[in-house]
Structures are given as C-alpha cells and as structure tokens.
Amino acid sequence: MLDFSNARILVIGDVMLDQYWSGPSERVSPEAPVPVVKIKNDEVRLGGAANVALNLKALGAQVEIAGVIGKDSAGEELTNALNQYGISTHFYLGSTPTIRKLRILSRHQQLLRMDFEETLPPEDSLIFTTQTLPLLKNFDLVLISDYGKGCLNEVQRLIQKSNELQIKTFIDPKGDCYEKYRGATLIKPNQSEFCQITGSFNDENDFDIKAAHLIEKLKIEHLLVTRSEHGMALFGKTNTPYKIATRAQDVYDVTGAGDTVIATLAAAFANGKNLQESVNLANMAAGIVVAKVGTATASIAELNDQFSQSQRHQGYVSPSKEQLKELVEQAQQQGQKVVFTNGCFDILHSGHVRYLDEAAKQGDKLIIAVNTDESVQTLKGPSRPIIPLENRMELLASLSFVDWVVPFSEETPRDLICYLQPDVLVKGGDYQPHEIAGCDCVWENGGEVKILSFWDGFSTSNIVERIQTSLNDHRSNQNNANGGAKGDAK
C-alpha cells in the first residue's frame, strides 16, 4: 500500500478559483452562430497552485499553501474551500482581484473559457515573499507552482533560502525565462514549454543533449519533461535519461493534469521514493485525472488501485467501503459496468475460480465482497473458516479477472450493495433473483441481477470433510501400527 502521510510539503504559487457552468445545449442562438447553453449546474473548484495543494491532500500528504488573493468574495471562497479540505493557508491580501476562470460546458464539452485576472504588482510579490520565507523551515519539500501571474517574481529568493535550509524545491515553471529557477532541485516543464526555452529538437538524441545543457546552465539537479501521449522523460546531471510511456487510456480533459503530476512526484519523493519510482507514480496519477472532466485530483485510493494492478496484475484489496465507492463511481463515469458478487471463499478451489471468471464476464469491473471470519463462523460453524480473512482476500485479489476485494461483517451484503450501487449483482446457486440480498437496490438503480450455476463436483465443505476423513484414517493406521508393534514386542 502506498502511504504519503509522512510528507510535509509547502505549496507556493498562483492560486485561482475555477468555476464551471454547465447545462444542455439544444439550439443555436438567433443573435449569432453560437450554441445556447441552458445553465443547470454552477460548480466551483480549486485552481492553479490551490489545485496542486488539493492533489497533495487527496494523496494523504501534510500540505499547507502560500499565495496571494484579492480582498473579495472569490478570495474568501478560495480560502474557505481550502480550509474545508484541511489545508492551512498563508495568504497575502494583494491589491488585485482573486484570479477566476469561468468555463461554460455542455455535454462534457468545454465551449468557452473566460478569465478574470490582473497581473500582480512587483511590490505585492516582494511583500508576499518576505512573509513566506520564515515558513520554509517547517517543511520537507517546497513545491512552487508558477502560472506567471506575478506571485513568484521573487522566486529566486525562495530557492536560495530553501537551499540554505537543505530543503528540496520542485518547480512547475512558466514563461520563457528559466534563469529565475536557477539552483532548484527539479523543474517540470511540458514538452512545449521545454522547446520554448531550448528550441525544438530533431530526434531523441538531440532532445537528450538539449536537456543536459539546460540542467548545466541552470545548475539544477533534475529535469522532468512531460510529453503528453509520449509519456515522460527524467534527466539528471549524470544518470541516463529515464523515459516512460503514457498510461492514459481514455482522455476526457487534460485540465490540471500537470498539477497532479508535480503533486504526486513531490508526495512520493518526500516519503522516501526515489525519483524514478516517483515519476512512475506521477504517470499513473496523470492517467487517472485525464479520464475525468474538469480540474480534478487522483486520490490515494485510486492511485493504490492502479499501483496494485500494475504489480503482478493484482486486484485492489480495499481497506474501506468508502475508498471502494470512489473507485466504483469513477469506473461508472467512464462508462464501465461494475459487477458485484460475494461469498466466504474458504479454501479457494477451481469451482470458485470458474464461477468468478464467469461473473467477471458480466461487466468490466468485478467486486468480490468477502465474509469476515466472525460471519463465516456464524454461517459455517465454529471450526470455520480454515483460511483467515486477510489470506482469503489476498488469494482472490491475485486472480487476473478480479478488480476489487472488500470485506463485510453483516449477515448479508445488502447494505454494502446499496452503498456501492453496482450495475450487475451476481449470485451462484438455486436462487430466484428476488431472493438475492440487495436485489431491490440494484433494480432501483436500473441494474441487473443474474444467477449463475455453481460448477458440480466442487465444494469447500466436501474438501474439508475429505481432509478430516483422511486425517482420521491416518490416525487409525498409526494406532493400528503402534498396537501391532506392541504385540510383537511381547
């Protein structure tokens, strides 16, 4: 399991409020050749450096944020939203309004973006930086998120102070002058930004040479270039370039993907992962967020799910139904059909495997809810289970067609089914659909209930009986042998 809870990270940068107005669009305006959107939803999200902080929080890191906001309702809304997520703020009230970006969407497509912003005066940036410097000593890593709005005009002072304190600095850069980032630990431009600084490259060898020159010129330790569909490339002063392919399957919206990459990279590195491991995790996280609409985050549950499946194709053993609910909703938003089944699965045998394989074929994702040891005892008697819950779940998760495994302790999994709201409920045996626990919740949500036949000749109870019979026969043979030996001795 990935755990980033030990990371103490300070995010410094341009904060902004992202607004999303959305609704159906069914006609073209008679005033101009533009669609008419009937607004049904008005949503506010954290943007810019605030989204970076939110990404870190979603990953379980300890995070605080420093930035500049205006003396307005948008600044208050931004502060309150961060505080509600448990993110402490160190904001300077500047002389310009809080930056807002308003997006108009219809049917998950962005039709228009309107930006409300003014460049921050240099004197505000100077005061903000002076107030922020004393905070640095309290953190393991400083993450600087530059959107070119003026907040980071004095960024070199922040880098120099961090270096004096031996604190690592990761930077998401902006603009056509990187001299201001001199001496940073790592800089993460995208490929377009990289070419803006170094010039376009002809091939991979030319790319590597230009990256090495930039590292030497800026006296930085590492350079990470994100390359959209071509993945990522990590460069260091001496190491061979480390390049990985993208993991994104379906791309709905790339908004905020760069924030997710730098946040995941920082969280992993601050918790002891090396940079190559951190880059791999950041790549996984990017693949998660681009499958969502709008500014989004990758949670620790989603990242653990991806990480677990990358390790020997193993399913994700969810520690809580809340984390699993998040994964189910994400899968359903992507149009995937989620299948649910349950059982004790004590002494996993080929009958179980065949049944679960058939269950998995009813949709795209398979959840297996497993009875706890106490509930198995209630169902099967005090001698069961043979295999403890943790081991039963681990075995089930190792099956290639199993996606998620979760425990339940109730008499039936009805409450869990109603909470998770799967698309398909599957049960094996001689049941009628209306007899299956949780069927009512599935039907109410437009789902299906299916009955699959168990494979004949396979039964855990029969296996246990055969084991017991074999042990009894073995003891009887031992006793007879011992008795015969005693007779011979006489």
The catalytic residues are: 259
The Cα 217–Cα 397 span in angstroms is 49
CA torsion, points 352, 354, 357, 358, in degrees to nearest 10? -110
φ/ψ region of 335 (left if φ > 0, alpha if ψ in -120 to 50, else beta) reads left
| Ordered DSSP codes for 316-339 | EE-S-HHHHHHHHHHHHHTTPPEE
The Cα 289–Cα 226 span in angstroms is 15
DSSP 8-state secondary structure symbol assigned to residue 190:
B
SS (H, E, C) 199-242: CCCCCHHHHHHHHHHHHHHHCCCEEEEECHHHCEEEEECCCCCE
Cis peptide before 33 (omega within 30 of 0): no
> Sheet of 141-145: strands edge to edge?
88-93, 62-69, 8-13, 141-145, 168-172, 186-187, 222-226, 232-236, 242-244
246 touches 230 (CB < 8 A): yes
The Cα 297–Cα 263 span in angstroms is 10
